[in-house]
Structure formats: C-alpha cells, structure tokens
Structure 1
Amino acid sequence: MEKMFDCIFAYAFLISITFQMLSSESKQPMSLATDRTSLLSLKQHITSDPSLLLSTNWTNSSSVCSWIGVTCSLRHQRVAALNLSNMALSGTIPPPLGHLSFLVSLDLTSNLFHGDLPQELSLLRRLKFISFRLNNFTGDFPPMFGQLPKLEYLNLRNNSFIGFIPKSLSNLANLQFLSLSSNSLSGEIPKEFGRFRSLQTLSVAFNHLSGAIPSAIFNISTLVSIALSHNYELSGSLPTDMCSNLPSLTVLRLSDNRLSGAIPTNVSQCSRLEVLGLSYNSFSGQIPQKSDT
C-alpha cells in the first residue's frame, strides 16, 4: 500500500511541476550559482558513491540542470527537484542544502545517509514532497518539518529518529501522506493531529508510542489508511462511533498494542474497509458483519 502511494505521489509531482532540464545559467548566474554551491556542498559530504554517479557527473564543466538527479523548472530556471533515490549513497546532509530556495521535491529514498538533519532545511518553504525513507538518519525528530507550509507528502519511514512526534506537524494544512513508521519514536500521538483536513495516509507503526489514540483522528474524513500497529504500548479503547466519519477508510492496522474494550459495533460503517488488523490486543466482542448495502 505504501509503495503504491510513493509511486503515485512521485509521479504526480513530476507532472505538476513540469520539470525540464535547462542549460540557461547565463540568464540568472547568481541564482543558479547559489544552487550549484548548495549541491556541491552536498557532494562534499557524500563519503561513498559506489556507482560514481555524482563524482563523475556533478562537475563545474556542465550545467547544474543537466546533473544526474537534478531537474530545473522552466518558469524560474532554478533547481526544483532533487532525486537521488536508490543510489547507495552514504554521507550526511549539510546546512547549505537549505539554500535551494526553489526546491519543490526532495527524494533521498533508499540510501545510507546518516546523522542529524540540519535546521536549515526549514528554509525550503516551497517543498511539497519529501522522502527520506530507508536511510539511517538519527537524532530527535526534527520539528522543522512543521514549518514547511506547502508540504503534501512526508515519508521518514525506516530511519533511527528518536524523541516525541512534534505537535507542529499539525500545522501542515495540505499534508496528504505522513509515514513515520519503523523509527524509535516515543511518547503519545499528538491530539493536534485531529486538525488535519487533507490527510489520506497516517502511518506511525513500529515505534515505541504509548498512551491513548486521540479520538480526533477518527474524525479525519479524508483518511484512507491508518497504521498504528507494533507500538506495543498504545492503550485505551476505540471510539464507539469510530467509523461514522471515515467513509474512505480502506486500511486499519492496530495489531500488537495494549488496546482494550469492545470492538466498535459500527465497524461495518467503514464500507470500504479491506484490511483490519486487531490482533494481539485485549479487545472484547465480535467483529460485526459487513453490510451488503
């Protein structure tokens, strides 16, 4: 399910931004010079490039907009997307990456990047798409993500972030996809998440979260997938009217926690539900039959 969303969102952004590779640095030398400096700083912080993709391609003899993984927008003639996914790169993210002020999409999926993320990434105010999935970033969960007002997609799955999930993420009014699964996050799921109005996927499985699931989450009518399984310490009961406001819910994963109480009798009102995981909890009652209507 998550891979499908990855592909859909990535493809949608490639279409909507209308990326074109350009060689027009002469028109705005200072602007592209800034982007060049930022990217060369990143190159200097990469300690392993087994395929030699960046070391042989990111050079001063060619245009930034022709570099592997870099695409530029026609309108601003600036770097609009950076896609270094699946390149087996190892290294850290330097603060100057935050100077790519026209960046809309940042994809570092499936590499070996590590260390803390610099606060300067909060300067990327145009960002809509971020995927750092399958790396080894560490440190407290960065609250700066809540400062990116246009963000629609945030995937930090399979890293080593610790600490609490910041309440500031609820400021992301346009967020549609949020995956923080497979980290080492602790504390409670922020009740402020109930403010989301566009969220379709919420995945915080395989962490160390505790406390009750905020009932407001079950009022986010846009939700299609909720994955809270394998936290082991989530407790409390489910709202009796859990499915009243979830007309599009397809996936609900709650397994391997400490949830208790009766299984809501209105589960059948989640008419599109296809995957329901309740195992290894302390629920009582029976799962109601799905309505034929």
Structure 2
Amino acid sequence: MKMPLALLLSPLLLLLLLFLSALPSSQMSSSPPPSYDSDLQALLAFKHSLSLDPYNSLLDWSPRHSFCNWTGILCSSRHQRVLSLNLTGMSLLGPISPFLGNLSFLTVLALKNNSFQGRIPPQLGRLSRLRILRLSFNQLEGSIPTTLTSCRSLQVLILSYNLLSNTIPSQLSLLLQLETLYLGGNQFTGTISPFLGNLSSLIKLGLEKNRFHGSIPIQLSMLTQLKQPYLWGNNLTGTIPPFLGNLSSLTDLELSNNKLHGTIPPFLGNLSSLIDLELANNKLHGNIPIELGMLT
C-alpha cells in the first residue's frame, strides 16, 4: 500500500526548515535590503550628475565600499540609512540631483559653498524627516519650490547668496518649526510677505540684499522669539515701525541701505538685549534719541 506523498515529504520539509533556522542570517541572504539599495542608487545618481569634482572629494564614493563610510555621509546605526549628507565647501559643479529626494531618512542636507547650478529640485519635498537644509553660496536659480512645505520638520532653511528670484511662496508659513530662515543675497522681489508672522518659532530671519519694497509688515510683531532680523540692502520704505520696540529678544536689528524715512524712534531704547543696530544709508533725520544711550 502506497503512502500519501504529503506524508513522505513532511519529514523532509521539517528537517529542511530546522536546518535553515540554524543558519546565520548572513548566510541566508547576502544582499542588502531594498531600502539600502535605494539610498545607494540615489547617492550614485547624485555623483554621476556632477560635471566637476576638482579635488576628487567623492573619490571614495564607490559601490565597493559601504556608503556609510563615504565622505560627507552619516548613517543611522540601526537601519544603515543616510541621515546626513554634508558636502560643504568642496567646489562641486553641476545640478542638484532630484534623486536626493529618495533619501527618505535624511535629516541634514548641507551643500553650501559649492557651484551647484539650476533649480532646487522639487523632489526634496519628499524628505519628511529633513530638519536642516543648507544650500547657500551656490548658483541656484528660479523660485523656491513650494514642495518644500511638505518638509514639516524643517528647523533651518538657508538658501542665501544664490540667484533665486520671484517672490517668497506664502506656503512657507506651514513650516511652523522653522527657527532659521536665510534668503539674503538673492533677487527676490515684491513686499516682505505678512505670512512670515506665522512662523512663531523663528529666531533668525535673513532677507538682506534682495529687491524687496514697501514697508516692514506689522505681522512681524508676532515673532516674539525673533533675535536677528537682517533686512538691509533692499528698497524698504516707510518709517521704523513701533512694534519693533516690543520685540524684547532682539540682539541685532539691521535696516541699513533702504529708503526708510522719519526720525530714529526712542522706543528702540526698550530693546535691552540689543547689541547691533544698523540704520545707515536711509532717509532718516533728526537727533539720536537719548534712550539709545541707555543700551549697554
């Protein structure tokens, strides 16, 4: 009498399963997880998009080695995913690859002091964990992509000293954790948008050396934690607004090289933390208020 095939195979299957369970995980699968491969491909695409790496800074960016050991990269110890990409000051030339938007664990992206060209890729808006974005001192152009407002964890956004233009998108008001916003040294136009008053965590605001016009918006009075507003080098008009005297955290107030008129207001003497006050090259007149002499 023949035994059922399932009964014959069962002991064999049981032995096979016991054997496999005893093997180390490294022998069961030598290939990295798909998420690792995704980071690897994104980094290699970034490197290949460069047209110049004059100091061979990325020479060690090779699949022969773990990317966690590559120049400028910091990985998480648990998942071996890219947490930080810092290539500051390497004179790299080329576009910023949109594939960086696939580095889903990225919290820091610092590419300042290079020669990156073209537009800021909207794909960076996929980086939901991103906290610090530093792209200053490059040759980036065009508008700020509104997709960056999806990076709700952003605390530092530094895009200063590029060739960026148009207006500042009002959608940036959604970045409620933003503490530093530096957009100086670009070609932004229009008025200083009132939406900036919604950024209640803002401490540092750099809008200098642009083409902003109009008055300083009263909505900035809501920035009670603001310490350093840099508004010099624009075409701002009107008088120095009274609400500035209520921003008691101010340490720097830089309004020089605008078209502000009227007198220097005594209420600036209320700013007990003020260290640096820049009002030169405006249309101000009258005497220096005695109250400013009380600042130490």
TM-score where L is the length of structure 2: 0.85
1:87 paired residue number: 90
Structure 1 residue identity aligned to 2:126? L
Q: Is residue 182–residue 207 contact of structure 1 (8 Å, CA) maintained in 2? A: yes
Q: For residues 177 and 264 of structure 1, do their structure 2 counterparts lie closer, same or farther at Cα, with a shift above 3 Å needed?
A: same
Counterpart residue number, 1:167? 170
Describe how 1:109-128 pairs up with structure 2 within 5 A.
109-128=112-131
**Are the structure 2 counterparts of residues 241 and 132 from structure 1 closer, same or farther at C-alpha, using a change threshold of 3 Å?**
closer
Distance in structure 1 (CA, Å) of the matches to 2:144 and 2:295: 44
Give distance in 2, aligned partners of 1:166 and 1:261. 31
Contact between 2:229 and 2:254, CA under 8 Å: does it hold in 1?
Answer: yes
Q: Distance in 2 between matches of 1:225 and 1:29?
A: 45
| Separation in structure 2 between the aligned mates of residue 60 and residue 33 of structure 1, nearest angstrom | 10
Alpha-carbon distance between aligned partners in 2 of 1:277 and 1:226, rounded to the nearest angstrom: 11
**In the TM superposition, what are the counterparts of 1:1-16 in structure 2 within 5 Å?**
none
Distance 2:154 2:38 in 1: 23
Matches within 5 A, 1:1-293: 29-54=33-58, 56-231=59-234, 233-244=235-246, 246-288=247-289, 289-290=291-292, 291=294
Shift of 1:103: 0.2
1:5 corresponds to which residue?
none
Pair member with larger Rg = 2
Kept after mapping to 2: 8 A contact 1:186/1:208: yes
Q: Deviations over 1:19-61 (max 9, x none)?
A: xxxxxx968521110000000000011111111121x211110
- What do you get for the CA RMSD once the two structures are aligned? 1.8
Give the whole-Å Cα distance in 1 for the aligned partners of 2:260 and 2:274. 20
> How far did 1:220 drift?
1.0
Cα distance, 1:164 vs. partner? 0.4
Tell me: CA distance 1:269–1:69, structure 2 relative to 1, closer, same or farther (3 Å).
same
Classify the secondary structure of the residue corresponding to 2:260. strand
Kept in 1, the 8 Å contact 2:224–2:248? The answer is: yes
Residues in 2 aligned to 1:205 and 1:30: alpha-carbon distance in whole angstroms: 44
The CA deviation string for residues 207-252 of structure 1, in whole angstroms up to 9 with x for no partner, is 1111111112133111110111011x211222224211x1211111
* Inter-CA distance 125–249: structure 2 relative to 1 (3 Å threshold): same
Q: Following the alignment from structure 1 to structure 2, what is the Cα–Cα distance between the partners of residues 285 and 76?
A: 64
| 8 A contact 1:38–1:96 mirrored in 2 | yes
Return 5+ residue gaps in structure 2 as ranges.
Answer: 1-28
- Letter of the aligned partner of 1:217 in structure 2? L
* Matched letter for residue 163 of structure 1: N
CA contact (8 A) 2:160 2:185 kept: yes
Q: Once the two structures are superposed, what CA deviation does each residue of 1:125-152 show, in whole Å capped at 9, x if it has no partner?
A: 1100011111101112322222210100
Distance 1:77 1:183, change over 3 A: same
Aligned mates of 2:239, 2:295 — CA distance in 1: 27
TM-score (norm 1): 0.86
Q: How much has 1:77 moved relative to structure 2? A: 2.3
In structure 1, give the amino acid aligned to 2:254.
Answer: R
Q: Which runs of 5+ in 1 are unaligned?
A: 1-24
Aligned residues: 266
Structure 1's 134 and 167: CA in aligned 2 closer, same or farther, altered over 3 A?
Answer: same
For the residue of structure 1 that corresponds to 2:44, the secondary structure is helix
Q: Which AA in structure 2 matches 1:280? A: N
